[in-house]
Amino acid sequence: MRMLPIPMSIDMVHETKTLVGIMAFFGLIGSVAAIIAGGFLVYYGGTGTAEISLFGQKISTTSTGVACVFLGIVALILVIQRAFSTLEKAIAAPDIKTPDSKPGV
């Protein structure tokens, strides 16, 4: 499916970058927290059967820590990819002139 470019003013790009930055920050915090929690579970011997099916891949483990670390890493990668993709689209969007936009801002 081909998406048509959405014209954006400079102000809209700045707002998009700010919003994506906030969402990426909280996504990164959650991902890192899951990785750290998984590390503690691995270190302290947290056991339990976990079976994860994600993107067509199936992972089975008897360590909940390994599963938690795996989910944290996947979430971290997805957050970074989506944030950069959204920022790239916002910056590459055609510029529109609005009466309230200031030149050079």
Sorted by where each begins, the domain ranges of the chain are 10-91
CB 10 within 8 A of CB 95: yes
Residue 20 confidence class, pLDDT cut points 50, 70, 90: confident
Query: What are 15's two structure tokens?
Result: 């707002």
At 63 the three-state DSSP class reads strand
pLDDT at residue 82, as a whole number: 86
Q: What is the pLDDT of residue 16?
A: 74
